[in-house]
Amino acid sequence: MIHPALHPNDPGDVAHVVFRGWTVRSDARDLLRWIDLEIPRGRIVALVGPAGSGKSVLLSSVNRLLAGRPGVETGGGVFLDGDPLWGRGVDDLSLKRRTGTVFRDAAVLPGSVHRNIAFPLLLDGWKPGTRLDDAVEAVLRSISAWDRLRDHLHRPAGGLRAGMRQLVNLARAAVGRPEVLLLDEPCGDLDPRETEIVERALLDLSGTRTVMLATHNLAQASRLPHRVAFLLDGKLEEYGPTDRVFQRPMRGSTEDYLSGRFG
Amino acid sequence: MRFPARSALALLVVFLALPVLALLGNTARLLFPPSPRLVHLRDGTRFLAVPLPPDPLEKALGRLPVLVDDGSIRVLDRMPVSMEADTQAWLVRRDDGPMLMGRLSGVVAEDGDTLAGEPARRALEEMPKRLRRDRNRILPRSPTAPGAARSPETARRMALFEADDRRVVALFSEPDGTVRTARLSSIREADRAPAGLLDGIRQTLPRLGLLLLEAPDAWDGGGLEPVLASTLALVLLSGLVGGLPALLAAMQLADRTDPGLRTRWIRISSEWFSAVPGVVWGVVGSGVLVEGLGVHLDRIFAPGARWGEGGMLWGAITLGALSAPVTLARAMSAIDRVPRSWREIARSCGATRWQVLRQVILPTAARGLVGAWFSGLARAAGETAPLFLVGAARTLGRSGVGPAPDISLSGGFLHLGVLACDPPWPRTEGALGRPLAFLSLSLLALLCVGLEYVAVRLPQRREPETTR
């Protein structure tokens, strides 16, 4: 029998996002070094690690925002449901639409809450109308935010509090029914109460969608996800079920970080 | 040592006061134009004249140039016995004869009606304008050769008009008792010394309107309207050939979330280029466009073409090249002010470059971009030096100051700054209440300040709802 710590995936899990020897280099500096990682479908996976450890780079490898950055070289491969995300001849736009991203700084697009949430659909050529309104309402209900935001739909999104803005961003990321949600410290600027609201919305979304959550908040990392990946200096140090990683880390560096000795 | 900021501030106030003083002084000259004075010479002769500002040589010799009755300049060897302002004297400029100075003794119609006093004054002030407007309606805009190519119908109506109008004549008496007559319809301008500030303003305002806005009168060449129009056209054209491409280039560079090396270099070099003085651009423009391209065009499309002499298109391209870096630099910083996170969000949603530009950048940066375009226009409007080199006309087509320039894309153009530096107007213009150099400089300054004001103010009008 294989020790569960050495076999991170549950037998029923299906790999959804797969990194194979994924290496990212920018200006002769390694941002990510030989990452082998399988993100199971429909699960929440937390990426933890100190600042600069490569969490955000890993996320932007999946939504391909990395491709817009000058001076970036990549090696290895990233696969979304078996489709290569990098390489010659990939269809940038259709791949982007299979992911939804929320960034740390709770920024929203100019315009109303409604426009923010509907933005990906509007890009796809949807016309304003009841169908669009229904889609917005549906996604807000799916994250239990309809009651909070229904009265603000046609007010400027920039006027909301940070927690509400992140809810708007979460709805915007989810409205196009992407397979994967990429969250780059979505609660980094929020207070605990707002964090709780966003976390609950996140739990509502998981199950149907794969979620990759980069976070500094170790309590959040132990609370939410099914799995935790610990990154340090662009290398994957440890990956496994949340309980196991937090209670019996296999690496000294993981233990040091999780117990607050550095980072 | 004391910190010298206070004295620096005082110096700055002096600097700022200089143009204001110049403006006030010239406005006063405009409101109180030198009026005819009754000159007494030692030998007992008395005549009306308008003193002119002496040139340096005349000043050194103690001589006084005056504008006399017939429009010529007479230089008095010695100072006259007395020179009093004659507030009753009129100064009349007309088309069909020399100037007139004298007191108005009456307006006479040929059928015997005679006006005197106040009604005569009013007739003299109002009638000429009305008559000339009628005449311009019959025969609009003077052809270079008057009388040429008139249709029989026009000739008939003109004859009728002339038969009618010959009958109304103003009589002016001079100090020596002679009476001279002037047809009302031939009077271009009739001025009288203003009897105080209010009267000065009342006389000046219509004259200002005539000088600034009126289309050239078929019989006299009018005011600065053609110059103003040509300057505006030149500046706008430069905004089209220079500013617009610069805006498009800024948009082309806008889509990247991270400014790359290329973008940084374009930005830095556009800032360098915007510091290059106008005269350098002028030399380049005259060398490349006029002497190079234009001369070759003439060789290909000869005869009749005249691209090789410089002209409005070359001027506009030179100004456009000179102002494009300014527009580019300001447009790029306007686009930079759109938060990067907005672009990241839009790109993460799968927006194409065009969609990011159209949906996120343009709505926010639009005011800044228009402001950038206007700052390019302001730079273009503020440059006069290069225009001397690429075909600015030095004549205005008024009688005595050269032929009318051909204003077209390939032909010459008129520019406020050029004509103020190198004025084609006779020396007497100021004395006759037509300070055209001052007016054109004021207009040019006003144009630049206005454009710069729009350029600075427009982007500030409304902040985006949130910068986060």
Q: Is B232 on the interface with A (CB under 8 A)?
A: no
Asked if residue B321 has pLDDT above 80, the reply is yes
What 3-state DSSP class applies to A45? strand
Per-residue pLDDT, averaged over A179-184, amounts to 92
Q: Write down the pLDDT at residue B396.
A: 67
Amino acid at B29: R
What is the spatial distance between Cα A173 and Cα A180, in angstroms, rounded to a whole number? 10
Best mutation site among B262, B265, B348 for testing chain A: the one with the most A CBs within 10 Å? B348
Q: Closest residue of A to B356, CA-based?
A: A123
- Burial environment of residue B7 by CB neighbours within 10 A (0 to 12, 13 to 18, 19 or more): exposed
Starting at the edge strand that comes first in sequence, how are the strands of the sheet with B64-68 ordered? B73-76, B64-68, B46-51, B37-40, B82-85
Question: Is there a contact between B468 and A105 if contact means CB atoms under 8 Å apart?
Answer: yes
Of the pLDDT bands very low, low, confident and very high (cuts 50, 70, 90), residue B209 is confident
Q: Which CATH superfamily is domain A4-258 in?
A: P-loop containing nucleotide triphosphate hydrolases (3.40.50.300)
Report phi then psi at B440, rounded to 5.
Answer: -70, -35
Residues B230/B415, Cβ–Cβ less than 8 Å: yes
The Cα A3–Cα B304 span in angstroms is 95
pLDDT for residue B167:
66
Domain boundaries, chain A: 4-258
Choose the weakest-confidence range: A95-109, B22-36, B287-301: B22-36
Asked if the C-beta of B464 comes within 8 angstroms of chain A's C-beta atoms, the answer is yes
Q: How confident is the model at residue A133 (pLDDT cuts 50, 70, 90)?
A: very high
Q: Give the pLDDT of residue B129.
A: 77
Over the stretch B379-389, which tens digit does the pLDDT of each residue have? Answer: 999 888 899 88
pLDDT at residue B397, as a whole number: 61
Show the tokens assigned to B347.
């790109």
pLDDT at B463: 52
Highest mean pLDDT: which of B47-61, B82-96, B182-196, B319-333? B319-333
Q: Are B466 and A93 a contacting pair at CB < 8 A?
A: no
Using 50, 70 and 90 to split pLDDT, how confident is the model at A151? very high
Token pair belonging to B287: 């060398």
The model carries a pTM of 0.79
Q: Does B347 touch chain A (CB under 8 A)?
A: yes
> How many CA atoms, within 13 angstroms, populate the side-chain half-sphere of residue B376?
38
Region A103-124 average pLDDT = 91
Q: What whole-number distance in Å separates Cα of residue A156 and Cα of residue B462?
A: 15
Average pLDDT over residues B41-70: 84
Select the highest-mean-pLDDT range: A90-104, A171-185, B303-317.
A171-185
Residue B398 has pLDDT above 70, yes or no: no
What is the pLDDT confidence band of residue B248, given thresholds at 50, 70 and 90? very high
More confident residue, B412 or A128: A128
Q: Using CA atoms, how far apart are residues B311 and B294, in angstroms rounded to an integer?
A: 9
- Which residues sit opposite B92 in a β-bridge? B100, B190
Mean of pLDDT values over B272-301: 87
Q: What's the one-letter identity of residue A202?
A: L
User: pLDDT: is B230 or B307 the higher one?
Assistant: B230
One-letter amino acid at B208 equals L
From residue A101, alpha-carbon distances to A168, A175, B253, B350, B400 in Å are: 12, 11, 24, 10, 75
pLDDT for position A3? 38
User: What is the H or E stretch that residue A134 is in?
Assistant: helix A130-142
Average pLDDT over residues A4-21: 69
Task: Judge contact between B40 and B80, C-beta under 8 A.
Answer: yes
What average pLDDT does this structure show over B167-178? 80
Distance in angstroms (rounded) separating the CA atoms of residues A15 and A13 = 6
Q: What is the pLDDT of residues A34-52, one digit of tens each?
A: 999 999 988 899 999 988 8
**B305, pLDDT greater than 80:** no
Instruction: Please compute the mean of the pLDDT values over residues A165-174 and round it to a whole number.
Output: 93
What SS3 string covers chain B? CCCCHHHHHHHHHHHHHHHHHHHHHHHHHHHCCCCCEEEECCCCCEEEEEECCCCHHHHHHCCEEEEECCCCEEEECCCCCEEEECCCEEEEEECCCCCEEEEEEEEEECCCCEECHHHHHHHHHHHHHHHHHHHHHHCCCCCCCCCCCCCHHHHHHHHHHHHHHCCEEEEEECCCCCEEEEEHHHEEEEEECCCCHHHHHHHHHHHHHHHHHCCCCCCCCCCCHHHHHHHHHHHHHHHHHHHHHHHHHHHHCCCCCCCCHHHHHHHHHHHHHCCCCHHHHHHHHHHHHHHHHHHHHHHHHCCCCCHHHCCHHHHHHHHHHHHHHHHHHHHHHHHHCCCHHHHHHHHHCCCCHHHHHHHHHHHHHHHHHHHHHHHHHHHHHHCCHHHHHCCECCCCCCCCCCCCCCECCCCEECCHHHHHHCCCCCHHHCCCCCCHHHHHHHHHHHHHHHHHHHHHHHHHCCCCCCCC
CB neighbours (10 Å) of residue B366?
Answer: 13
- Residue-level pLDDT at B455: 92
CA pair distance B393, B404, nearest whole angstrom: 9
Pick A107's closest partner by Cβ from B342, B350, B364: B342
Give the pLDDT band (50/70/90) at residue B152: confident
For the stretch B340-358, pLDDT in tens is: 888 889 988 888 888 888 8
CB B237 within 8 Å of CB B316 = yes
Query: Do residues A221 and A215 touch, judged by C-beta distance below 8 A?
Result: yes
User: Is the model more confident about B411 or about B49?
Assistant: B49
Q: Does domain B225-460 have CATH number 1.10.3720.10?
A: yes
pLDDT at position B466, please? 46
Which of A37-51, A216-230, B325-339, B411-425 has the least mean pLDDT? B411-425
- Cβ neighbours around A48 below 10 Å, total: 28
Mean pLDDT of all residues in B186-209: 78
Confidence bin at B303 (pLDDT 50/70/90): low
* Interchain CB contact of B32 with A (< 8 Å): no
Q: Hey, are the CB atoms on A123 and B349 less than 8 Å from each other? A: yes
Global ipTM: 0.87
Kindly indicate the confidence band of residue B441, based on its pLDDT and cuts at 50, 70 and 90. Answer: confident
pLDDT of B314 strictly over 60: yes
DSSP codes joined into one string, A148-195:
HHGGGTTSBGGGS-HHHHHHHHHHHHHHT--SEEEEESTTTT--HHHH
Distance from CA of A99 to the nearest CA of B (A): 8
- Give residue B141's pLDDT: 52
Is the pLDDT reported for residue A2 higher than 70? no
Q: A79: pLDDT confidence band, cut at 50, 70 and 90?
A: very high
Average pLDDT on B237-246 reads 94
Tokens of B161: 């008009």
Q: How far is B467 from chain A, CA to nearest CA, in Å?
A: 8
Please state, in angstroms and rounded to a whole number, the distance separating the CA atoms of residues B124 and B109.
Answer: 12
Between A184 and B197, name the one with better pLDDT: A184
Token duo for residue B216: 């050239």
Nearest CA in chain A to B347: A65
- Which residues of chain A does B465 touch, with a Cβ-Cβ cutoff of 8 Å? 110, 156, 158-159
Q: Give residue B151's pLDDT band: very low, low, confident or very high (50, 70, 90).
A: confident
The DSSP output letter for A145 is -
Find out whether A215 and A242 touch, Cβ atoms under 8 Å: no
pLDDT at position B302 is 65
Question: B44-48, B92-96, B268-272, B348-352 — which is least confidently predicted?
Answer: B92-96
| A123 in contact with B, Cβ within 8 Å | yes
pLDDT of res. B461: 61
pLDDT for residue A7? 41
pLDDT at B215: 55
Question: What is the reported pLDDT for B404?
Answer: 61
Interchain pair B347, A176: CB under 8 A: no
Amino acid sitting at position A104 = R
Cβ separation B465–A107 shorter than 8 A: no
Looking at beta carbons, which residues of chain B come within 8 Å of A165?
468
Average pLDDT of chain B is 80
Cα B65 off chain centre by: 28
Is the bond preceding B19 in cis, omega lying within 30 degrees of 0?
no
Structural domain boundaries of chain B? 38-84, 85-140+158-213, 225-460
Which amino acid makes up residue B433? G
Chain B partners within 8 Å of A123 (Cβ): 349-351, 355, 359
